[in-house]
Amino acid sequence: MKVLQNKTLWIATALVALMAMTRFNHFGSSVALPDASYAVFFLGGLFLGRVRGALAILAVLLVGAAMVDYYAINFAGVSGWCVTQAYGFLVFAYSALWYVGRWYAPRHDLSGKGMLGLFAAAVAAGSLAFVIANVSFYLLAGYFGSMSVADFTASVAQYYGSYVTVAVIYIGCAVVVQMLHAMLTGKTQRDSRAV
């Protein structure tokens, strides 16, 4: 039981740290990694969604995201343009990522079939989160009164690929770490399933 608790603590800490380090820049730059928030919430659901206290961990990640945003806007010079009445709907977008990861967790293993399924689940979760975040922003931000749905969709569609691709890359890196851990500890594919 203690090993499971330590593993849970390490994973949760790593996810919080990754989000805190990357949330300042959505697309990355020459000095900053792109935002890992989509991957963090998916991985949280995948690896921690079924442990005792999972909802508390989800809440910590949600509050952590808001705290990083508050800091970035008020102290780091990041624009607050996206913080509107729609901001609260990020809870639903991030929770969708978490719950798709949680749903996939019992199916997750380190086989080729498991990796293909994980990829499909990650793309589906990222797509769902992107739609929730952008539809709510269009409807509630107050910026798009004269813009048609088609025009808005065309303008945000250009960002869809990067949001989902970045999430899949981070998730892939996490799985590589999981594979290395499994090799170093001598665990089988079945033993390496999500917590």
Cβ pair 64, 118 in contact under 8 A: no
pLDDT tens digits along 2-14: 666 789 999 999 9
Question: What pLDDT does residue 3 have?
Answer: 61
Predicted local confidence at residue 56, as pLDDT: 96
Per-residue DSSP letter, 35: P
The proportion of the chain whose per-residue pLDDT surpasses 70, expressed as a percent, equals 90
Looking at residue 4, its pLDDT comes to 62
Q: Do residues 93 and 133 lie in contact, with contact meaning Cβ atoms separated by under 8 Å?
A: yes
177 Cβ contact list (under 8 Å, min separation 6): none
- Residues 158 and 144: beta-carbon distance below 8 Å: no
Q: Region 84-103: what's the mean pLDDT? A: 98
Reported as a pLDDT band with limits 50, 70 and 90, residue 161 is very high
pLDDT at 83 exceeding the cut of 80: yes
- Asked if 139 contacts 86 with a C-beta cutoff of 8 angstroms, the reply is yes
Calpha distance 15→36 (Å, rounded)? 9
